[in-house]
Amino acid sequence: MREDVYRAVRAMFDNAIEMASLGPEDRRLVEKLELTFRRHGLAFDKEKREHLDKIRMHLSELAIMFSHNINEGDGRAVLTCDELEGLPRDFFEGCATEIVDGQEGSVVTTKYPRHHS
């Protein structure tokens, strides 16, 4: 992102008189731009921005690993009706059933689309 544009937006944002002279749409645009730039770390110095970028990259890698593990894993659990209490009935009506320790339970997996339901 462009630091020079952020500085211009920030100068406008910090100037109460100029902000008051803007129409509601323009004022909202300046506010949203300032927030977007700030969320991308432009309010920080270069060293902190680089650290923030490393953190974001690490979070991205973890999210990819998590998705991969969910897709490749055989995550499943057999849960009783009591353990599924509070979930909508259609959630476990679509599940296969198994008997474990003498109790019938619904097989819940992490396979798509079950974990997106």
Q: Does residue 30 share a domain with residue 5?
A: yes
| The token pair that represents 66 in the structure block | 């998590």
Q: Does residue 63 share a domain with residue 33?
A: no
What CA–CA distances, in Å, run from 98 to 70, 80, 86, 104, 107? 22, 10, 20, 6, 7
Q: Cα separation of 68 and 110, whole Å?
A: 11
pLDDT at residue number 72: 83
Q: Does residue 28 share a domain with residue 4?
A: yes
Q: How confident is the model at residue 95 (pLDDT cuts 50, 70, 90)?
A: confident
Structural domain that includes position 55: 46-72
User: How many domains does the chain divide into?
Assistant: 3
Q: Cα separation of 35 and 42, whole Å?
A: 10
Q: Does residue 33 share a domain with residue 1?
A: yes
Spatial contact of 84 and 92, defined as CB atoms under 8 Å apart: yes
Q: Does residue 55 share a domain with residue 32?
A: no
pLDDT at residue number 39: 93
Q: Does residue 88 share a domain with residue 104?
A: yes
Q: Does residue 36 share a domain with residue 2?
A: yes
